[in-house]
Structure 1
């Protein structure tokens, strides 16, 4: 009986460690990719329609185009996060510019 409960306990511990590792990795990823309240952000459209409509939806008010991003249709902009987060409804991710910037695109 002890052998079965010991094996069950080890399997349960391994599952908890795996879950904690997954949560830690997801949290770290979000912290690295979370857009700043104000500054440069990477806009990544997820559909063809989003690619076509992104410039019109993103570039309004005080949002300024910096250049193109590393993926097709993506843009690097400078502005405020609260004016850009609504883009998620239009299949576009708003992310932090990776450390070192996005050098794949041309400057605007």
Structure 2
């Protein structure tokens, strides 16, 4: 069950597992990564941000300045699913980190696409 009250402190594993339940107006704030399912992050409703805020004060106070909108994370997963069926959590997190670092979708080697998980 996804908390309705935002901001909501959570982990990347929980965000990915609950992606379908997140609101399109939600964004995920974090520091670096994500590198593991246990990496912390915060789910925030973008409607609650002031016009001049890039990240909410709760995230900024933790030093977290990286933000992805729910749609961006869903796009990363959709791109992976076009390359391999049912990508595992580690692959989703690696692809998300790649997206953050390179502003581009990850391209998996063809062997990964040929190897059903």
**Same-fold call, TM > 0.5?**
no
If each structure's strand is expressed as a fraction of its own residues, which one has the higher value? 1
- Structure number with larger C-alpha Rg: 1
Higher helix share: 1
TM value normalised by structure 2: 0.27
